[in-house]
Amino acid sequence: MSRRSRKTRSTYRTANEPARSPAVTRYPVWDAHLRASHSLITLLFSGLFVSGHFGLGPGWLHLWLGYALLVVLLFRLGWGVIGSDSARFSQLMPSPRALIDYLPKLFSRQPSLWPGHNPVGALSTVILLTGLLLMSTTGLFVETWGEWRGPLADRIGGSTQLLMNDLHDLLRWPLLALVVLHLVAVFAYWIFKGEDRVRPIFRGGKVILKAEPELSFRGGARAWFLWIACAALVASLVFLGPVD
């Protein structure tokens, strides 16, 4: 083969090779307590849907899964105020401008390398947490499980009990749709954008980014105090709420 032919092939191959992506590194984004609350919410909601919709398991199981979910949700809300930067609602809530600017990038195959939740994901997370909290709260007042009832059911009138029951039942479908949509989006980002946000939940909370996000992390005594306070609050509702 002539030098000219080799040079031509080399030039052709170089011109048609994809451009190398900029250097990226894994940086910590989600702390252990935030990741634990995320996983627990997923597991507990799945158990609640199966036990509530399909009637699998005893009635008390659905109640206690609901109490556990309420503890985790209260922790997540509290951690959104006093926790790590990536958990705070001040960081999570997207501005209208950020949301509008991100929408054109939503269907691009180019990785966004967003440090945490992108604006669309952040908005869906806030909506999902609000719906789950509303569902857990209404469950405290529901009285349709025969011998099993919400601990605060006797503290409201019959018409309000029916309203709480209807709202509790109605919320399951929008919440299920949001959960499924959330999962579809996560795996779509993994497959089409090459952004894996699943394994970081279980592997130290580190995400591939272009630059260090400069986040402040919190945990330790502050987090455990919040867990205990949330558990104590729910326990007081469960054991002190019913009317003798």
> Looking at residue 45, which CATH number applies to its domain?
1.20.950
Predicted confidence at residue 9, as pLDDT, reads 40
Predicted confidence at residue 24, as pLDDT, reads 66
Dihedrals φ, ψ of 209, to 5°? -135, 165
**Strands (E) located in the chain:** 25-28, 206-209
Question: Whole domain around residue 220: which residue ranges?
Answer: 33-240
The helix-helix angle for 119-139 and 59-82 (nearest 10°) equals 130
Mind giving me the DSSP string for 161-197? HHHHHHHHHHHHHHHHHHHHHHHHHHHHIIIII----
d(CA 33, CA 228): 13
d(CA 150, CA 159): 15
Q: pLDDT tens per residue, the chain (244 residues)?
A: 444 444 444 343 334 433 444 456 888 889 999 999 999 999 999 999 998 888 888 888 999 999 999 999 999 999 999 999 989 998 888 888 888 888 888 788 887 777 778 888 888 899 999 999 999 999 999 876 566 789 999 899 888 988 999 999 899 999 999 999 988 888 888 888 888 888 888 878 888 887 888 888 998 999 999 999 999 999 999 999 988 7
Please name the residues in contact with 148: beta carbons below 8 A apart, sequence gap of 6 or more: 59, 60, 62, 63
**Residue 101, in any domain of the structure:** yes
Please name the residues in contact with 182: beta carbons below 8 A apart, sequence gap of 6 or more: 121, 124, 125, 128
Q: How far is CA 6 from CA 13, 17, 147, 163, in A?
A: 11, 17, 84, 79
**Residue 233, in any domain of the structure:** yes
**Residue 6, in any domain of the structure:** no
**Residue 226, in any domain of the structure:** yes
Say if CB 218 and CB 82 are below 8 A apart. yes
**Residue 191, in any domain of the structure:** yes
**Residue 195, in any domain of the structure:** yes
Mind giving me the DSSP string for 26-82? EEE-S-HHHHHHHHHHHHHHHHHHHHHHS--S-HHHHHHHHHHHHHHHHHHHHHHHH
Predicted confidence at residue 114, as pLDDT, reads 77
Mind giving me the DSSP string for 22-35? PP-EEEE-S-HHHH
Q: In terms of Cα–Cα distance, which of 162, 136, 139 is closest to 149?
A: 139
Give the model confidence (pLDDT) of 30-67 as tens digits: 999 999 999 999 999 999 999 888 888 888 899 999 99
**Residue 3, in any domain of the structure:** no
**Residue 119, in any domain of the structure:** yes
Number of domains in the chain: 1
Predicted confidence at residue 201, as pLDDT, reads 82
Predicted confidence at residue 189, as pLDDT, reads 84
